[in-house]
Structure 1
Amino acid sequence: MRTRNLPHLVIIPARALTPLAASAVLASLIFGGPGAAQEYSTEQQDTEVVLAPDAFSPYAGRHFPQRPLWGDSHLHTMVSVDAGTMTRLSQEDAFRFARGEEVTTTHGLRAKLSRPLDWLVISDHAEMYGLMPQLLAGDAEVLSTDQGKAWYQALTSGNAQQAFDTAMEIVASLSDDEPPIDNPKAIRHAWEDYTALADRYNEPGIFSAIIGYEYTTEGANNLHRNVLFRDGPVRANQTRPFSQYDSKNPEDLWTYLAEYEARTGGEVLAIPHNGNLSNGRMFSMTAYDGSPLTEEIAQARARFEPLYEATQIKGDGEAHPFLSPDDEFADFDTWDAANLNGTEVKEPEMLAGEYAREALKRGLAIEKDLGVNPFKFGMVGSTDSHTGMATAQEDNFFGKHSGVEPEPHRWEHVVIEAPDPDLTIYGWKQAAGGLAAVWAQENTRAAIFDAMMRKETYATTGSRMLVRFFGGYAFTEEDAASRTPGDEGYAKGVPMGGNLSPAPEGKAPSFLVVALKDFLSGNLDRIQIVKGWIDAEGETQEKVYDVVWSDDRALDENGKLPDVGNTVDVANATWTNTIGASELIGVWEDPDFDPSQSAFYYARVIEIPTPRWTAYEAVRFGIEMPEEVPMITTERAYTSPIWYTPEG
């Protein structure tokens, strides 16, 4: 019996239910409470269909997400010490902007999103949390310290050069082992002001203001994490932001988060930043101190870090051409010269510890040895903007920080000044990305958090394309004709972030994948499925399969799909959607499946070429940029993987 023909069905697990379990299922169906969701189940289940005689509408009784909720899990305001030396946008400005209101930037420009976001995490730095607004306001608690008083006097002296030098001194202090101002009371007040503000802007069903902060450690090597809370101020105020001054070891962060959960009954997760500037440290095969990785450490990372920030302003972190030489789309917004501040040149052997695809492969290898996969993460994108504005759209990009807002020379402004001029990063290298899409059942903090824990998420480089990805053993070509693919996907398999059940005899996994274009962006070029696995010799492997594509193209003798073409008019920063497709949907079965080999699969969706933010800038300001400045981009999405583990 096919659920597509029976829209009035309710699907429940086929396993026998105890009276208590049956009551719980009934309560969740009637009240839609969060209790069941908190189990974060990603396992495939056998299902049976149960008639719901009171249903007629094909949408009634659905207990799975209907649309992705768009957000940014990584945004800074003037409350962050570094951002606060340049931007004057407050946390309230950031919430207003994300909800679709127009704001005035630090330099007096009017700014607004093309469409509001559904949720936002203001992740201001934990280190000396709230210092800059307190300094500028002459906060009595901060001025009671000698350092605070000296900085305040310099910042308010009226001497522009002295104020600038002091601001740079404050930023440089983030590399110190001890905080130059150790004032827990001031941090507590700033934190509680933020959580109260987030609660004021949190509107269930409309907009979720998720409480969070950034743990900034190993600054030059970018081992930073964004910490997100499931709950509101009542629980979040029972802790304070854990900073590098507490410990530079991320393993200590996980311990701190575990203690918070045990003490408060709350829930929390951490999202590692883009690892492409960590010089191999983000996905190390050892513990933080270089000792062998233990099962306990692997379990802690797997528990508290279910997601990874695969793309953002400081470059893309999905794949690298050195690691994936057969992947023609691997070299995208690549930052690979050095670590974050350019003090350590990157060596090729470091790259394997920096990119998502290689990390997913490493996770399979570690699981084979330890029985635990510490890198079993889903994908999100976010901005890491320090402007107070979550702007990831190419034609609306305000950059990394407010030191230089859109103006004729922004493209050549120095973003990262390295000791070696060849390692210096200029403005044009910045990527206008990214965004996080979450398949949550409702727009609430709890539902979004639960979806993140299930890894039912995907990353985009700024486009808001809709992507669904399901894996199972029963998908057929007929399912690709469905106009409600979610019905088929959840009934026959698991969504992105899920785990396949053991393979039935003679069966290979099949995948239903769907993409719908962003109406403000380019048409779709293709959908690919990226597979990683461990071969019979214990070595990790990967392969990229083109599974659905637009236009009248065919794979060549090498299995490669010809280029979709290019309609971009760089001189006018425009393009035509005369190539590509508005929608792609298909079913793909793994032709190389071996049931004895662990594997993961994720979908990558590629748009046709469109103008990059640099092209829009050139037109707006009437400037000509050097040849090395890219003017065209191909927006893309990366889904969370679906994993397969052999039985036993």
Structure 2
Amino acid sequence: MRRLLLLSAAAVALTGPAAAQFVPSQESLQGLYPGKAYSPYAKRSFPSRVFWGDTHLHTGYSMDAGLFGNTTGPDTAYKFARGEEVTAASGQPVKLARPLDWLVVTEHSDGMGMIFDLQDGAPNVLATEQGRRWSEAINEGGEASVAATLDLITTFSQGEMDPQLIGDYSPGSPIYASVWEDLIQTAETYNEPGRFTAFHGFEWTSLDKGNNLHRNVILRDGANKALQVEPMVTQGPGGTTDPMGLYAWLEDYVAKTGGQAFALAHNGNLSNGIMFPTDERFTGDMVDEAYVQARAKWEPLYEITQIKGDGETHPVLSPDDEFADYETWDAGNLDLTEAKTEEMLRGEYAREALKQGFMLEQKFGVNPYRFGFSGATDSHTSLATADSDNYFGKATNAEPSLTRMTHPFTKTDQGEFPGWSLVASGYTGVWAEENTRASIWDAMVRREVYATTGPRMAVRFFGGWEFSDADLRTRNPAFVGYDKGVPMGGDLRAATSDAPTFMVYALRDPIGANLDRVQIVKGWMDADGALHERVYDVAWSDDREPDANGKVPAVGNTVDEAAASWANTIGASELAAVWTDPDFDAGQQAFYYARVLEIPTPRWVLYDQVRLGAEVPADAVRIGQERAYTSPIWYAPEG
């Protein structure tokens, strides 16, 4: 009380004549920090926030979603992504632990709207033999509906749809135009700059004999430009499965609207070797200058992880990488009509493609595989769920149930993708200035993004020539990162020392698992044109010591399978390092990206076991190490 009285008296005194006794200093800090301000946040121009989203989501508007029971639409998708509780098509309540910041609803451009008319028995559908047969069977339900669904998908994938039927659901038709307009207007309704971004986009679903060549198209623009066009398709009038046709569509979009767009390929692991060609393309045409230039121009990102397997690398391609065999899908192509061979793997995985890009650049002067990394769900449930403890499956028939682990995703004479092998993955983290279409889209194009298998860990990765350990003595590593170097997705500046240095910082997901280690993956081409790769451990937890081969021992395992839980008693909440490439050769092209691994945690199958009493198959993978992949940083010899 006495102290309060004294403070009160002092305040009164300052209002009287005594206040005039205060003499301000004549000194000023103005000019003492040329080009900078004392406040580190003033005049800051670099991206300071990471925004989380999904570049690949389907609703019941997509034929292969609606056919498998998804009765929900884009409204559900946006509400869910923004953090609202919704009801899944299976009737279960579902909500995200944390809202997303942005979303791209990417309905399959082929046949948009057909599923509704098949279910309703629309006159134009019943006027064709195929449509009448499928409509009647779908409405009969049960085994008849399942058989009709499989027959429709097979007929479509083989390009044998009735021309009249597919024409009604292709660009240029009134039905197609109305569906596209509905999707655009719904996105506009939920787009709220500064809070939530809803992009316009679609999936171009190229499939060559079951080999996946799908691309998502993401527009930077609003409805005024998106409505000036209709999506590119693979069948029907104007359709093609050749990516060169999609690149031509993108050129036309820009020329017609003055807008901006890019394409994003995914699931090369299901392409049976044709996603990343280096000589002959699947069309029979050779990889040439026109192809590499177009691909380099229109595909700045690659979807490295999603529900249908992880696409970073494969144990056959990276035998010295002990973490290469992660969520591997390698039985065959998308519909398992052709089994996988080892020769196909080189044209399927991101790390190998980054290396092959050097060879193509040497030949054509352009690197078509100079892409950053994104992650997505490819969920067909309208629900962007990538967390193992909240996983709602690939399709409505794979939403939580006692049998979803044992029901195959695909099974043929060529092999099987078992139900338990579906992956709760993934999301894209975007370093951007603000939550708007323009800011996030621009960050994606400059590749200042990274992919995670679900956890929202914060990762910064910079490359330069003068980083030192002293640069880590700050809680804001980005300040020195941008000052001395370039961020993920960039090109190293001109050399100022004998070898490049990289600064990487990772902070665990606040509600997730601790971190095991941070690695830097390097790929390069030597003077003889041979391609190489190496994985370096650069930061790790728990005072472990590398062995004689430089390998850091395993972090351990705290997973309690019976409870579907783990303990953060191992690992670290954050890891950081400044690393200098010990094998650098200034005459060799190279790329570098960071891979961040969490400690082991339960896969979604253990949550099904605990919550539903489901039986986990004996061969199912129960535990995994979730991870993040930063976009690469590239080095090219001067001159």
Q: Matched residues in 1 for 2:354 and 2:30: separation?
A: 37
Aligned-pair RMSD on alpha carbons? 1.9
Aligned to 2:195: 206
Aligned residue number for residue 227 of structure 2:
237
Deviations 1:169-215 (A, max 9, x none): 33233214364321222111100100010011000011110111101
Tell me which amino acid in the other structure corresponds to 2:386. Answer: A
- The separation in 2 between residues aligned to 1:560 and 1:244, in whole angstroms, is 47
Residue 456 of structure 2: which of 444, 459, 464 is its match? 464
* 2:285 partner letter: S
Partner amino acid for 2:502?
F
SS of the residue 1:585 aligns to? strand
Partner of 1:68, secondary structure, is strand
Which of 268, 271, 283 in structure 2 is aligned with 1:278? 271
Preserved contact between residue 216 and residue 243 of structure 1 (Cα < 8 Å)? yes
Output one character per residue of 1:451-489: Cα deviation in whole Å (capped at 9) or x when no partner.
111011111111110100000111111111121111011
Q: Please, which moves more after superposition, 66-75 or 281-290?
A: 281-290
**Which residue of the other structure, out of 434, 459, 476, is the alignment partner of 2:468?**
476
CA contact (8 A) 2:486 2:493 kept: no
Alignment partner of 1:642 is 2:628: no
TM superposition score normalised by structure 1:
0.89
Matches within 5 A, 1:482-561: 482-504=474-496, 506-561=497-552
Match of 1:26 in 2: none
Query: 2: distance between equivalents of 1:101 and 1:173?
Result: 38
SS at match of 2:146: helix
Matched, 1:65 2:57: no
Q: Which moved more, 1:371-380 or 1:132-141?
A: 132-141
Paired with 1:592 and 1:477, the residues of 2 have a C-alpha distance of: 19
Pick one of 335, 340, 346 that aligns with 2:340. Answer: 346
| Residue pairs, 1:52-451, within 5 angstroms | 57-85=39-67, 86-137=69-120, 148=131, 151-156=134-139, 158-177=140-159, 179-180=161-162, 181=165, 182-183=167-168, 184-218=173-207, 220-245=210-235, 246-286=239-279, 287-420=281-414, 423-451=415-443
One-letter code of the match for 1:481? R
Partner Cα distance (2:306, 2:141) in 1: 35
TM-score by length of 2: 0.90
Q: Following superposition, which runs of at least 4 residues in structure 1 exceed 6 angstroms of deviation?
A: 143-146
1:104 to 1:364, Cα distance in 2 relative to 1, 3 A: same
1:615 is aligned to 2:609:
no
Q: 1:100/1:580 Cα in 2 relative to 1: closer, same or farther (>3 Å)?
A: same
1: distance between equivalents of 2:199 and 2:242?
A: 25
Helix, strand or coil: the match of 1:69? strand
- 2: CA distance, partners of 1:265 / 1:591: 47
CA separation in 1, counterparts of 2:175 and 2:200?
Answer: 18
Equivalent residue, structure 2, for 1:606: 597
Judge conservation of contact 1:250–1:288 (CA < 8 Å) in 2.
Answer: no
SS in 1 for 2:269: helix
Tell me, which stretches of 5 or more residues in structure 1 are unaligned?
1-7, 11-48
Q: Which has the larger radius of gyration?
A: 2
Counterparts of 1:352 and 1:159, CA distance in 2: 43
Q: CA deviation at 1:165?
A: 3.2
For residues 555-585 of structure 1, give each alpha carbon's deviation from its aligned partner in whole angstroms, at most 9, with x where no partner exists. 1111100111111111111110011000011
Structure 2: how far apart are the matches of 1:497 and 1:571? 42
Q: Which amino acid aligns with 2:336?
A: G
Measure, in 2, the Cα distance between the counterparts of 1:342 and 1:204: 42
Distance 1:124 1:167 in 2: 18
* Distance in 2 between residues matched to 1:471 and 1:412, nearest whole Å: 45
Residue 35 of structure 2 corresponds to: 51
Alpha carbons 2:546, 2:553 under 8 Å: kept = yes
- 1:60 to partner: Cα distance: 2.4
Task: Note the C-alpha offset of 1:144.
Answer: 6.8
How far the C-alpha of 1:623 sits from its partner, in A, is 3.8
**Residue number in structure 2 paired with 1:32:** none
* 2:19 corresponds to: none
Structure 2 unaligned segments of length 5 or more: list them. Answer: 1-28
